[in-house]
Amino acid sequence: MSLLTTMIRHLCTDAAQSANRTSPDILSSPESCHVVFVATDLEIKELAWVRTKETDFERDGKVFRRLSPEYFAWLRSRMVTAQAAHKAGKLPEAAWNTLRQRFNALQELAIREFGKESLQDVLQSFSPKNYRPPALRPEPQKKPVEVPRKVWIYPQHAAGRHRQPVTSQAVAKVDTIREEAMAKGWSEARLYQNQGRFRFPCGEDYGLVCFVDGDQEIGEVTERSIEIIHGPKSGRPSTLRFYNPEVPQPWMKKVED
């Protein structure tokens, strides 16, 4: 599930109950101070926080992170994605208005906390793909759970002549940018299809999911292309682009009758 989807899902919680609830695990002490924490759905809590190296905590299925200029910049990038989804008709008006109101309140708070110039300096150099967002910690398991392997087939009701195997890790990577890509005009088939008329990778039938297995990571998403970064942790990464054949590209020329 993408973080944008998580933001929207949390909007359905009881806002009044959340506003009046404090965390019993976070106690005042002589060495504590009041600190602003923000969840990924933009809920704000100002709490007496014991001074430790921890910047995140979990509460009722949400992750709260201590507000910083970098975290504000990341939340702002999520709002840009949400706005694009709203304009494309993929985010309901009510959900968008709630996110917008929460973000406006957060922006005023961040300006008071850090100053407008300081925030602008961070926003100019900030790169969302290099930021590690808050995430729920997986519950520890005594024994590894064997997950049955599922054969990925897309589309389900079409029998292509050739099929490229796809791992669950590759599907998960595409899932993280699904809303953003579709808001920018990408079709579901261009992201997930793994059947084609020709052997992989020939032709234009195969979707992004067929190209991001292993150490390949997804970078910038635009209307025309999506970055595929090979070996991002190797010290010498290389970047290729997966182009969308359904939109005009600079090298395409219109043929007049």
So what's the pLDDT on residue 152? 77
Q: What is the pLDDT of residue 155?
A: 80
208 and 133 belong to one structural domain: no
Are residue 107 and residue 170 in the same domain, yes or no? Answer: no
pLDDT at position 250: 80
Q: 18 lies in a domain?
A: no
Q: What is the pLDDT of residue 248?
A: 86
pLDDT at 149: 56
In this structure, the answer to whether residues 50 and 124 fall within a common structural domain is yes
Report the alpha-carbon distance of residue 137 to residue 134 in Å, rounded. 9
What is the spatial distance between Cα 224 and Cα 163, in angstroms, rounded to a whole number?
A: 25
For residue 157, being part of any structural domain is answered with no
> Are 37 and 102 part of one and the same domain?
yes
- Looking at the domain assignment, is residue 23 inside a domain? no
248 falls within a domain: no
- Contacting residues for 215 by C-beta, under 8 A, at least 6 apart: 230, 231, 232, 233, 234
Q: How many domains does one find in the chain?
A: 2
Backbone angles phi, psi at 245, to 5 degrees: -75, -5
The answer to whether residue 178 is domain-embedded is: yes
Pick out the chain residues at pLDDT < 50: 1, 3, 8, 10-31
Q: pTM above 0.95?
A: no
> Is 48 domain-assigned?
yes
Using CA atoms, how far apart are residues 107 and 52, in angstroms rounded to an integer? 25
Structural domain containing residue 224: 162-243
Same domain for 169 and 125: no
Task: Note whether 46 and 131 are same-domain residues.
Answer: yes
Shared-domain flag, residues 76 and 40: yes
Are residue 84 and residue 120 in the same domain, yes or no? yes
- The pLDDT, as a whole number, for residue 30 is 43
